[in-house]
Structure 1
Amino acid sequence: MNAPLPRKKNLRGDAAWVVFQILENGKSSRDCLAKVQQRHSSKDSAWLQEMTMGTMRQLPQLQIWLRRLLDKPLKGNKKILEHLMMLGIYQLAFTRVSPHAAVAETVNAAPALGGDSLKGLVNAVLRNFQRQEMHTQVSDDPIVKSGMPKWLYQALSAQYGDDAQALLSQANAIAPLWLRINASKVSREAYSEKLTQAGIEHTFSDEHPQAIIVQSRTDVVSLPGYSDGLFAVQDGAAQLAAHYLGAQNGERILDCCAAPGGKTGHIIETTTDLQSIIALDSDGKRLTRVKENMQRLGHKATIIEGDAATPAAWWDGEPFDRILLDAPCSATGVIRRHPDIRWLRKKTDIDALVDLQASILDALWPLLKPGGTLLYATCSVLQSENSEQMRHFLTRNQNASLQPLSESDSPQTPGRQILPGEQQMDGFYYCRLLKSSN
């Protein structure tokens, strides 16, 4: 369903366009949000982020309200006006935007979306929402309250039982901003002092020696030392990758599915004299981000565009001491950071992802030296992509054994599953495998 970017910028019109692109065209917020944010000030860009992602979190309830208020669904090129109305309802029900502005500015945005003739309808829907005090008429359906699609709610409930509600609650929380201090340029303590001088509240993490957690919403580019590469933005769970991989001086390292390069940079920062490190990714556009990040941080890596599942096209035949595979996954562990993921993923996607992960694992395993280490990682909380995937791999590869990451890490329950909110981290999974020397 095509809806070109509105020719004239309009804050609420642009926000509705983003919501439309995600829900009707399956575009990720990463693809479409930046397109409208660059038309606005940094303050308005933050507003766009908050409103569009907030709408993603509350979508089931917003859809229920809208169905009650609309006599019949809009069709064709007018469908985008439904997304504008949901945005207006979201402002009235869940934000501190003044009711007058929420209604008036949302109505005035209709012409920017080709809906000049529907201004009256938009106004009527929002006025009726206020008049009927519908913000008090909240569904008691647990699926609606969770803000999740039915299939994902059921999958998480079946897998986590009594712990599912806490997980679902965390998935709707606002994720904190984690920084990884570039130890090759500055100490964590020295950078902390820079933040203090700038009046930016922050805390340390005991488990992450290079991490700082910023407590308030902040424009990353405006933080001290951004252009000088004093830090990278990287969640605490992702910062465990370099630690678990345990790269040593003189080793040859492969970072698979490496974009945007956060883990590559961290490995370099924690290992001063690698023989080499290759950052591999199949997405050429995302590799541009890897190059930019390496340059900003002052790191050097060999960057290769290639498919991890077909090494013959890019591998030079020299085996690796260690391989980090941050596998393509459902990203269900980072929904709090990317709320649109819940609506972009479909139940049928999971089996295809599991098959892809298995094919990449099988393709990479022969590239590892005898005695080498492979660290498997996902930002998923689904067992089929994580512990079950590892159990199957260990069964079909007799020369693979588990290198436990914790006391509970065993062949029956391999790896470490981090749930969203655990020590303020995103949801993540790690499993470390050792290749036998024979």
Structure 2
Amino acid sequence: MRLHRNLCFAVIDGLTLIFNEGNYADKVIQQLLKRDNRWGSRDRAFVAETTYDIVRWKRLYAEIAEVKEPFDRDNLWRMFAVWAVLKGIKLPDWKYFENTPARKIKGRFDELSKIRKFKESIPDWMDALGEKELGKGAWTKEIAALNEQADVILRVNTLKTTKEKLHAELYDLNIETDFLPNYPSALKLKERANVFTTEAFKNGHFEVQDASSQLVAEFLNVKPGMRVVDTCAGAGGKTLHIASLMENKGQVIAMDIYANKLNELKRRAKRNGAHNIEPRLIESTKTIKKLYNKADRVLIDAPCSGLGVLRRNPDAKWKLQPDFIENIKRTQQDILQQYSRMLKAGGQLVYATCSILPSENQEQVKTFLSSETGKDFTLVKDKKVLAHQSGFDGFYMALLEKNKA
């Protein structure tokens, strides 16, 4: 591979925004990709993948490069040089790469690869927490899996097409996909491609949604004609899946505290042809209380640490703090206590997170079931999905039933 100056500068500019100004990696990369309309798909892929790579391995590369935060541009070029040497890329004769000690870089990499927190490039506290909650063996495998690049998974919108038709439609565009056993609506891209420019996407034939995330709506046992409440809907990935499983019959109330996310959901629902979704902004507890004992199904896709989705959000490793996790656990329990009251007797509720920590998952369900509100509920089943076992994101989901009066 030959390095091109303008692409490398884009990566360094992006890393400056992510590491020094705290910007989100996905937003920064979106901006970078609009920088030069002469760039082809390979150029864009280089900028996106190299930036994500250096974000993912920040601690390891900084340690090898012997640089500390905040990183000035010279520091970032040194980290870039470490990335290039470890990838086997020949460094051009640029001033930024003068005196790059290639042999020393490889030696340091071999040394640090024996220490998990450096090898997997994670903060000390996260390494300690993961081992405490999952055990040494499972955590070592899990964090390694969470550092791999995520596959691109599509969820077929069955309101408009079938898996077989979409598979054929994309094949005609030279986009090859595989069927995934045990994931009824999923197609996996064989190679990464910009699927958002396709007519199939513009016509609402699919959404991009990880296979583990697709399990959640299926877990909820929805049927056409029901009243379903998605309490933390966000931009509506799972809401749209629920609407398709209900065949547009019945009502899906999509609730969130952020109006901009619900506006995005409205746009997506229109493209998907999902007509049974009613977005509702949570402005106060009154919004929730109006629905007490009214829903056949309730989904609580709770806010969480997001440790199960580090493959697609590698910068979260550097933004997360231990006190955030402690605070979010209190929020999760508060949400369970309040939102579970929307369920009718005999109805079912799914509590889900994209975390792999038992303290955010099984332990929250256990705490809820032993509480005054939770005594009316029974745990039907739960499922924990670990990335190193499934090959997809880490997730947890528990199905609870409200006892009949």
**TM-score normalised according to structure 2 size:** 0.89
**Equivalents in 1 of 2:34, 2:265: separation in Å?**
21
| Structure 2 Cα separation of the partners of residues 337 and 34 of structure 1 | 14
Q: Is the alpha carbon distance of 1:192 and 1:96 closer, same or farther for their aligned partners in structure 2, counting shifts above 3 Å? A: farther
Q: Which residue of 1 aligns with 2:76?
A: 84
Deviations 1:113-135 (Å, cap 9, x if unpaired)? xxxxxxxxxx2xx3232455423
RMSD: 2.3
Deviation of residue 416 (structure 1)? 1.3
Structure 1: gaps spanning 5 or more residues: 1-8, 108-122, 405-414
Q: Given the alignment of the two structures, is residue 136 of structure 1 paired with residue 107 of structure 2, yes or no? A: yes
Matches of 1:87 and 1:34, distance apart in 2: 22
Task: Among all aligned residue pairs of Structure 1 and Structure 2, give the percentage whose two residues are the same amino acid.
Answer: 26
**In structure 2, what residue type is equivalent to 1:88?**
F
Match of 2:391 among 412, 424, 429: 424
Q: How does 1:12-411 map to 2 (within 5 A)?
A: 12-40=8-36, 41=39, 43=41, 44-67=43-66, 79-82=71-74, 84-95=76-87, 97-100=89-92, 104=94, 123=96, 126-130=97-101, 132-138=103-109, 139=112, 140-161=114-135, 162-223=137-198, 225-300=200-275, 301-306=277-282, 310-313=284-287, 316-317=290-291, 319-396=294-371, 397-404=374-381
**Structure 2 contact 233–254 (Cα < 8 Å) conserved:** yes
Distance 1:221 1:74, change over 3 A: closer
In the TM superposition, residue 86 of structure 1 has moved relative to its aligned partner by 4.5
Residue 402 of structure 1 aligns with an amino acid whose one-letter code is L
The alpha-carbon deviation at position 98 of structure 1 amounts to 3.8
Q: Secondary structure at the match of 1:322?
A: strand
4+ runs of 1 displaced by more than 6 Å?
A: none
CA shift in 2, pair 1:86/1:305, >3 Å:
farther
Q: Provide Cα deviations, 1:7-47, integer angstroms capped at 9, x if missing partner.
A: xx954344333323333343322343323222244633322
* Pair 1:354–1:74, CA change in 2 (3 A): closer
Separation (CA, whole Å) in 2 of partners of 1:252 and 1:83:
55
Q: Secondary structure at the match of 2:303?
A: coil
How far apart are 1:181 and its partner, in Å?
A: 0.9
TM-score (norm 1): 0.83
| Contact 1:55 1:90 (C-alpha < 8 Å) held by counterparts | no
Counterparts of 2:175 and 2:28 in 1: how far apart (Å)?
30
Compared CA separation, residues 279 and 133, structure 1 to 2 (3 A): same
CA distance in 1, matches of 2:241, 2:24: 26
What is the aligned length?
Answer: 390
Q: Distance in 2 between matches of 1:131 and 1:417?
A: 42
Check conservation: 2:156, 2:205, Cα contact below 8 A.
yes
CA contact (8 A) 2:203 2:272 kept: yes
SS at match of 1:129: coil
Structure 1 counterpart of 2:80, one-letter code: G
